[in-house]
């Protein structure tokens, strides 16, 4: 029995859909295999792709207001600490370098949901904590969500993207280490000001 033009068209569309589905499945498998290879080789993507010498500023934020900022000092080798009240003084070098090293070593373990529409399940619908790093004329802000219930990993989003990343380590512990720099450990008040030259710019 001869096929009508309509039937042929429908069969053609079905074939295209099947082929597209197979291609998507193949691409997903290839992506997962590549991520597995990178993880096995210890080459996960760094969240802040820079070196310590190129970092100009690191801000620890609560509701987009800085709790404390580390700013490269005029000598280019050490960091100054700026409090929410605008007070600037030298940060304890060993503690500052250790904290900076931890920030720069943050790596993506895997992509959880590339186009997540429900960020609340990851604590990212309205994240209170964020980490902003300025380096080599660029900057990147990391929005910090909940910790995984299975391990000491954290859900994050790089500002400007929708992909939810699982990051190795409990990022909230970084904020608990601010006392070692001589800064506050509690969240700023709703009236809290900015730090240094960024105050009032938000």
Mean pLDDT of the chain: 77
| % pLDDT > 70, the chain | 75
**3-state SS assignment for residue 119:** helix
Quote the pLDDT of residue 144: 95
Distance of CA 140 to the CA centre of its chain: 8
CA dihedral 11, 12, 16, 17 (to 10 degrees): -30
What is the tens place of the pLDDT at every residue in 3-38? 677 776 777 777 777 777 777 666 655 544 444 444
d(CA 98, CA 173): 13
* Burial status of residue 75 (CB atoms within 10 A of its CB: 0-12, 13-18, 19 or more): exposed
Average pLDDT score over residue span 68-97: 89
Q: Which two tokens stand for residue 40?
A: 């096995």
Quote the pLDDT of residue 197: 44
Q: Which two tokens stand for residue 134?
A: 């300025």
Q: What is the DSSP letter of 85?
A: T
**Would you put residue 22 in left (φ > 0), alpha (ψ -120 to 50) or beta?**
alpha
Quote the pLDDT of residue 114: 62
Quote the pLDDT of residue 4: 77
* Burial status of residue 177 (CB atoms within 10 A of its CB: 0-12, 13-18, 19 or more): middle
d(CA 57, CA 184): 18
What is the tens place of the pLDDT at every residue in 122-169? 999 899 999 999 998 899 999 999 998 877 799 999 998 878 898 988
Quote the pLDDT of residue 119: 86
d(CA 57, CA 93): 15
- The more confidently predicted of residues 171 and 8 is 171
pLDDT interval class at 192 (50, 70, 90): very low
Phi, psi of 36 (to 5 degrees): -65, -40
Average pLDDT score over residue span 187-194: 43
Quote the pLDDT of residue 137: 87
Average pLDDT score over residue span 101-111: 88
Task: Give bridge partners of residue 80 from the DSSP assignment.
Answer: 71, 90
pTM, to two decimals: 0.66
Q: What end-to-end distance do the CA atoms of the chain give, in Å?
A: 71
């Amino acid at each position: 029995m001869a096929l009508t033009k309509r039937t042929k068209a429908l069969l053609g569309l079905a074939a295209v859909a099947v082929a597209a589905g197979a291609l998507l499945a193949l691409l997903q498998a290839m992506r997962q295999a590549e991520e597995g290879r990178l993880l096995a080789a210890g080459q996960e993507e760094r969240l802040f792709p820079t070196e310590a010498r190129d970092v100009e500023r690191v801000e620890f934020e609560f509701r987009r207001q800085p709790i404390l900022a580390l700013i490269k000092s005029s000598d280019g080798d050490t960091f100054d600490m700026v409090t929410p009240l605008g007070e600037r003084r030298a940060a304890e070098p060993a503690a500052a370098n250790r904290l900076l090293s931890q920030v720069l070593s943050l790596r993506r373990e895997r992509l959880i949901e590339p186009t997540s529409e429900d960020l609340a399940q990851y604590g990212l619908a309205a994240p209170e904590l964020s980490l902003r790093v300025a380096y080599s004329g660029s900057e990147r802000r990391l929005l910090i969500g909940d910790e995984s219930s299975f391990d000491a990993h954290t859900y994050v989003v790089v500002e400007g993207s929708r992909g939810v990343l699982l990051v190795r380590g409990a990022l909230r512990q970084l904020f608990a280490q601010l006392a070692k720099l001589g800064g506050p450990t509690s969240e700023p008040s709703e009236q809290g000001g900015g730090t240094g030259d960024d105050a009032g710019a938000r």
